[in-house]
Structure 1
Amino acid sequence: MLSQEKALEAVFTAIDELNAQMPSDMQLQKSPDMSLTGDNSPLDSLALINLIVALEEVIARGHGSAPQLLDEELLGEAEGPYATPAALADYVARAA
């Protein structure tokens, strides 16, 4: 099980990996409260999925296995587990 702090570190590592693939003017800030979904998000749906997959890979590298974090039903929830890095870290800490 990951602590909230370790889960947020994993989210930020996944953000770093996603940023390495994005143009500099579209890169994500590593802020716990940044919007990952909705109108204020810099991510389109494919980039959000890429972030979640990258996070699964970060967790697997650090812990040998990773929970499946991508849930199609949760993707559309404005206040769901993908809304912000902090919400995503909470979701990871509960799932891992």
Structure 2
Amino acid sequence: MSMRETLLSIIEQSFEELNDTREPGNLLSFHPEVALYGANSSLDSVDLVNLLLAIEERIEDELDISFTIANEKALSQKNSPFKTVKSLCDYLQIELAK
């Protein structure tokens, strides 16, 4: 499995974990263009934080890498890595390869 596939799997599993806390009629769908932040997102700020924490935990468990996603670099980028699943995966792939 490539790093990108692994990261997408980690993000998808984290979506499923978040869905376990949501009402059946309010579940999040998972695909690369799902908005994580902004007007088109179905996540509120608490959901986004919980999703990012779940992803961080899975990265540490599965890849043995300790990484804080919402760091100064991520928050200061012109194009937010939190816009979509794809942009988050792209960001993680670049940052974890360093």
TM band (smaller chain): 0.7 to 0.9
- Of the two structures, which has the highest relative contact order with CA contacts closer than 8 Å and spacing of 6 or more? 1
Contact 1:7/1:90 (8 A) holds in 2: no
Distance 1:41 1:88 in 2: 14
Matched residues, number: 95
Normalising by structure 2, we get a TM-score of 0.83
Answer yes or no: is the 8 Å Cα contact 1:37–1:78 preserved in 2.
Answer: no
Structure 1, unmatched stretches of 5+, are none
Could you tell me how far apart the structure 1 residues matched to 2:76 and 2:42 are?
16
Task: State the percentage of identical aligned residues.
Answer: 29
Indicate the RMSD between aligned Cα atoms, in angstroms.
2.2
Which runs of 5 or more structure 2 residues have no equivalent in the other structure?
none
Which residue number in structure 1 is paired with residue 19 of structure 2?
Answer: 19
Who is 2:66 aligned against? 66
| Structure exhibiting the larger radius of gyration computed from Cα positions | 2
What TM-score do the two structures reach when normalised by structure 1?
Answer: 0.84
